[in-house]
Amino acid sequence: MNSINNQNEINVGVDTGKTQLDIYIRPLAIYFNVTNDESGIKEAIKIIKIDKVTGVIIEA
Pairing outcome for strands 11-16 and 55-59: parallel
Q: Region of 29 please: left (phi>0), alpha (psi -120 to 50) or beta.
A: left
Q: What is the pLDDT of residues 10-45, one digit of tens each?
A: 999 999 999 999 999 999 999 999 999 999 999 999
Q: In angstroms, rounded to a whole number, what is the distance separating the alpha carbons of residues 18 and 4?
A: 37
Q: What are the domain boundaries of the chain?
A: 3-59
Q: In angstroms, rounded to a whole number, what is the distance separating the alpha carbons of residues 10 and 12?
A: 7
Q: What is the pLDDT of residue 60?
A: 75
Nearest to 53, CA basis, from 24, 32, 21? 24
